[in-house]
Amino acid sequence: MDAELERRVAAAGEVLRRGGIVVYPTETFYGLGALARAGGALDRLARAKLRPEGKPLPLLAADRAQVEEVAVLRGRAARLAERFWPGPLTLVLPARLGLSAAVTGGTGTVGIRIPGSEVARALAAAAGGALVSTSANPSGGPPPARVEDLDQALREAVDLVLDGGATPGGLPSTVVEVGPEGVRVVRAGAIAVERVLASP
């Protein structure tokens, strides 16, 4: 990242630390984010996105330490993380106690990844914790690859838009849950399911 983008990431991190909502680039599309433990911001985010109640919110983290603040990562799930992170693999893991039902959807689990995007990782680091990483569009709408494509009502509902240029687009992250019976595919995506299932 150049110095100007680093400065803007630091400013966006401060907005998040204060309980704000930020639009930011990921390795696929632009995401809509708030700190996973900022309850008021999560409520605002759900309203801005017109998201149905009870639907879990995926997270992203800067590093393994941030993942383990909100989720239990061990066994085969930890091995998948070692192989595919940073990158577009979301692991559905047991949630740590105290994580908001707005994030877990009341399931006791949380979907999380360390993203391939350097900007997204830097933003989570600057914010000091795992971030919500839902696409920056009203529910049912197309995810934006550029800030110019953002829905106007959603743009007005957030506290800051971090413009990192056009994102690559493409498929969303692959989502899997690792349980006692093995790996269950929740959503096919950017990483071939066969590669994930073949990993020990």
The total domain count for the chain is 1
- Pairwise CA distance, residues 3 & 194, whole Å: 40
In a domain, 189, yes or no: no
pLDDT reported for residue 179: 84
Mean pLDDT of 14-41: 94
In a domain, 152, yes or no: yes
In a domain, 182, yes or no: no
Show Cβ contacts of residue 115 under 8 Å, excluding neighbours closer than 6 positions: 26, 27, 60, 86, 87, 88, 121, 133
What is the DSSP annotation of 151-167? -HHHHHHSSEE------
The rounded percent of the chain whose pLDDT value lies above 70 is 100
Show Cβ contacts of residue 64 under 8 Å, excluding neighbours closer than 6 positions: 73, 81, 114
Other CB atoms within a 10 A radius of the CB of residue 14 amount to 14
In a domain, 180, yes or no: no
Per-residue pLDDT reduced to its tens digit, 58-71: 999 999 999 999 99
pLDDT reported for residue 90: 96
pTM: 0.93
pLDDT reported for residue 55: 84
Mean pLDDT of 6-30: 95
Cis peptide before 200 (omega within 30 of 0): no
pLDDT reported for residue 71: 97
pLDDT reported for residue 54: 76
pLDDT over 90 (residue 181): no
In a domain, 53, yes or no: yes
In a domain, 153, yes or no: yes
Q: Which CATH number do you get for residue 47?
A: 3.90.870.10
| Domain span at 93 | 3-171
pLDDT reported for residue 32: 94
Q: How many CA atoms lie within 13 A of 55 on its CB side?
A: 11
In a domain, 86, yes or no: yes
Copy the structure tokens of residue 53: 């109640």
Element (H, E) at 93: strand 89-94
pLDDT over 90 (residue 48): no
pLDDT over 90 (residue 51): no
- Mean pLDDT computed over every residue of the chain: 93
In a domain, 58, yes or no: yes
Q: Is 42 left (phi over 0), alpha (psi -120 to 50) or beta?
A: alpha
**Exposed / middle / buried, residue 37 (Cβ in 10 Å: 0-12, 13-18, 19+):** middle
Per-residue pLDDT reduced to its tens digit, 100-153: 888 999 999 999 999 999 999 999 999 999 999 999 998 888 899 999 999 998
